[in-house]
Amino acid sequence: MHQPTSNSPFVTAMLMALLTGATAAQGDAIPEGFTRQDQLRGSITPERAWWDVKHYDLALAIYPATKSIAGHNTITFEALAKATRMQIDLQPPLKLTKAMLGEEELPFEREGKVYWLTLPAPIEPGTEAAITVHYEGRPRQSTRPPWSGGFSWRKDSKGQHFIATTCQGIGASIWWPNKDHGADEPDRGIDMHFTVPDGLVAVANGRLQSRKEAEQEGRTTFHWRVTNPINNYSVNVNIGNYVPMRSKYDGEGGKLDVEYWVLEHQREQAKKQFVEVPRTLAAFEHWFGKYPFYEDSYKLVVVPYLGMEHQSSVTYGNGFQNGYLGRDLSNTGVGMKFDFIVVHESAHEWWGNNISMRDAADMWIHESFANYAENLFVEYHFTAKEAQDYVIGCRALVQNDIPIIGVYGVNKSGSGDMYYKGGNMLHTMRHMLDDDTKWRAMLRGVNAEFWHQTVTTADFEAYVCKVCDFDFTKVFDQYLRTTDIPVLVVEPSEQGQHVTLRFEKVVEGFTVPVVVRINGKEQRVTVSDAPTKLALKSKLESFELDRNFYMTVDQR
């Protein structure tokens, strides 16, 4: 969410929901295969809908020796309607110990991963208030970061503490209390105060405000501040024997502060490998527009796992090497021309952090575009052919198991195909449009149109179709909502005077232009599920669909 006013997307959406009753009330039908806890986590419940988050102020002490944490979060919010029951999310085994509204302690009760707070009286709509929730415990440990959420209590190669948080999917409430739903980002950002043992450094999102001795002897508090809206799962803290390396990037928004936070013994490796960062920023500002968080800087932070797209604090664990842990995902050789984690995770600053999904079912907006950005990076710095080789080579990784769009209202994203299939869908759309100027204008325009906002697939589809002046509706339906890849059926006539083209395994109304080569001659033709007859000057000897279209050919 962007504007801290009643014109913001969350406020508008929630006021409409409150007026129409379009929130997930207790007793609403829960999709088959899901639970009430899934619904509480993934929907705009009435206890979430009446208040709009303005700012978080998180203070947390971290105790590596016992793998435990204790702290509090002050949540500043604006009331949108009169209510006294508030939903705060915090997942076991962590527990809330106290909730305060000003000087008044609030009663609360727990239901699984949710706490219900009761206010003494409704807050007048349009006014701001703040609650402070205190909590403690031993948070869940991540068994496979970043794919599983929680704390990673590791040691570096020198035997020093090396700690990190991850929470995409499972939710930020796995380690701090908040309104854990993508639709509501804090308009005025977040302040974070992390207290750690002396000798360790805590690195988080945004800019470091201060570093000072804590009240508890032998401990240091690091204060970080994010001034822009931020999605909850992008908030992170990393703790280790960090040292900073600082530089400037001369970008579209002026001088961007760039920092690399690495372990002390990694300086030389980082100095060589992280030249990838300015190259990445240059490519993505070209394609997508201004880096979205100049106010909060850009950081790359070394962590004990592969990496994640934490806003203004991109985390990195790719071993200071190109490829994906030294592998080329496309099997073409092109993937070894760049550092996958730097490129992919930095792309999320535009796709996922600037433009954020409102519901987890629309996670494809984050991941399809971040995947697609990899081949745009290659095109910008190398050649269009190599970029095509890369994205097309990744088709071998597509599973076509379930649709890319997930289930709404229960915190359920869709198939992992949102990466490679989603990237190839976008690549195919570009070649359907056949207008690179218009395509780039769309990529930059969507980041400007939805600057620092949350969106739905419907929002996104409407904007792309409008700006491109091309109806991609059925293309989105085909690739996002089914598991079928279009089959282009080719049937030559017995006399050889013509050839008929049509699609099979497509949604009704799927009509798109494709580029084909018939007997070596290239032509652009619009095809649907109804036969399209093309005249031939001679008998059909060869037929080829341009490789940039993610479809299969059945020549009969």
**For 58-70, what is the HEC assignment?**
EEEEEECCCCEEE
| CATH 1.10.390.10 domain residues, the chain | 355-481
In this predicted structure, what is the pLDDT of residue 228?
98
Q: Exposed (0-12), middle (13-18) or buried (19+): which is 495, by Cβ within 10 Å?
A: exposed
Q: Chain-centre distance of CA 235, in angstroms? A: 12
- Find all residues with CB under 8 Å of 113, minimum gap 6, and list them: 37, 40, 41, 89, 90, 91, 92, 173
Helix (H, G, I), strand (E, B) or coil at 478: helix
Residue type, 343: V
Q: Half-sphere exposure of 152 toward its Cβ, with a 13 Å CA cutoff? A: 26
Of 21, 33, 80, give the one whose Cα is nearest residue 53: 80
Mean model confidence pLDDT for the chain: 95
Residue type, 378: V
Residue that has been written with the tokens 């394609």 in this structure: 287
The CATH number, out of the four listed (2.40.110.20, 2.60.40.1730, 2.60.120.10, 2.10.25.10), of the domain defined by the range 48-317: 2.60.40.1730
Strand partners, 141: 151
**Is residue 59 over pLDDT 80?**
yes
Q: CA 447, CA 456: separation in Å to the nearest integer?
A: 14
Strand partners, 503: 488
**Is residue 20 over pLDDT 50?**
no
**Is residue 4 over pLDDT 90?**
no
Residue that has been written with the tokens 């590596």 in this structure: 64
Q: What length does the chain have?
A: 556
In this predicted structure, what is the pLDDT of residue 7?
45
In this predicted structure, what is the pLDDT of residue 28?
77
Q: CA 252, CA 257: separation in Å to the nearest integer?
A: 13
In this predicted structure, what is the pLDDT of residue 5?
35
pLDDT band at 487 (very low <50, low <70, confident <90, very high): very high
Q: Exposed (0-12), middle (13-18) or buried (19+): which is 109, by Cβ within 10 Å?
A: exposed
Q: CA 364, CA 133: separation in Å to the nearest integer?
A: 33
In this predicted structure, what is the pLDDT of residue 15?
57
Share of the chain above pLDDT 70, in %: 95
pLDDT band at 496 (very low <50, low <70, confident <90, very high): confident
Q: CA 161, CA 456: separation in Å to the nearest integer?
A: 40
**pLDDT tens-place string over residues 383-395:** 999 999 999 999 9
Of 17-26, 40-49, 170-179, minimum mean pLDDT range: 17-26
Residue 194: both structure tokens together = 């992390």
CA-atom Rg of the chain in angstroms: 25
In this predicted structure, what is the pLDDT of residue 126?
97
In this predicted structure, what is the pLDDT of residue 16?
56
**pLDDT tens-place string over residues 127-162:** 999 999 999 999 999 999 999 999 999 999 999 999
Contact 2, 10 (CB under 8 A): no
Check the CA dihedral 316-322-323-324 and report its sign: negative
**pLDDT tens-place string over residues 298-315:** 999 999 999 999 999 999
- Find all residues with CB under 8 Å of 15, minimum gap 6, and list them: 6, 80, 81
Q: CA 48, CA 88: separation in Å to the nearest integer?
A: 8
**Is residue 351 over pLDDT 90?**
yes
Check the CA dihedral 503-506-512-517 and report its sign: negative
**pLDDT tens-place string over residues 442-472:** 999 999 999 999 999 999 999 999 999 999 9
- Mean pLDDT for the stretch of residues 17-34: 68
Give me the CATH code for the 487-555 domain, please: 2.60.40
Contact 163, 239 (CB under 8 A): yes
| CATH 2.60.40.1730 domain residues, the chain | 48-317
- Mean pLDDT for the stretch of residues 48-55: 98
**Is residue 19 over pLDDT 60?**
no
According to CATH, the superfamily of the domain at 355-481 is Neutral Protease Domain 2 (1.10.390.10)
Helix (H, G, I), strand (E, B) or coil at 150: strand
In this predicted structure, what is the pLDDT of residue 25?
53
From residue 157, alpha-carbon distances to 70, 270, 406, 416 in Å are 28, 16, 40, 33
- Mean pLDDT for the stretch of residues 265-278: 97
From residue 9, alpha-carbon distances to 153, 269, 359, 410 in Å are 38, 43, 13, 21
